Amino acid sequence: NAGVTQTPKFQVLKTGQSMTLQCAQDMNHNSMYWYRQDPGMGLRLIYYSASEGTTDKGEVPNGYNVSRLNKREFSLRLESAAPSQTSVYFCASSSPGLGLNEQFFGPGTRLTVL
């Protein structure tokens, strides 16, 4: 039982390049989330998926797109990376009735945009 996994762990991009961050969970959770973490700002929600087939914007969605590929996988795409998107990205999952809102986090992806 790996929990929540994220790939890659580290990535360096040039401004304007695109990339997709991958996230998968093996806990059969319904809900999945993407956060970014910046110094002094805590975790801010980018997008979330309450259940398979649905996605919704969070607090800071601009510049990002997401795909809930199936119940296990939730990817985050940067179409044209900008230096302001340099951050640590965390994926999380949760399931109603399983600890009510308790979220389980992946190890993170550290992204640098030059």
Q: Which residues bind another protein (CB under 8 A)?
A: 4, 31, 33, 35, 40-45, 48, 50, 56, 58, 90, 92, 94, 96, 99-108
Strand ranges (E), the chain = 4-7, 10-13, 19-25, 31-38, 42-49, 56-57, 65-68, 74-78, 87-94, 104-105, 109-113
DSSP 58: -
| Minimum distance, C-beta of residue 101 to another protein, in the bound complex (Å) | 4
- How far apart, in whole angstroms, are the C-alpha atoms of residue 23 and residue 93? 10
Q: Give bridge partners of residue 50 from the DSSP assignment.
A: none
Pick between residue 27 and residue 43 the one whose CB is nearest to another protein.
Answer: 43
Pick between residue 19 and residue 45 the one whose CB is nearest to another protein.
Answer: 45
| Minimum distance, C-beta of residue 54 to another protein, in the bound complex (Å) | 11
Pick between residue 19 and residue 98 the one whose CB is nearest to another protein.
Answer: 98
| Minimum distance, C-beta of residue 15 to another protein, in the bound complex (Å) | 26
Asked if residues 110 and 13 have their Cβ atoms less than 8 Å apart, the reply is no
| Minimum distance, C-beta of residue 112 to another protein, in the bound complex (Å) | 15
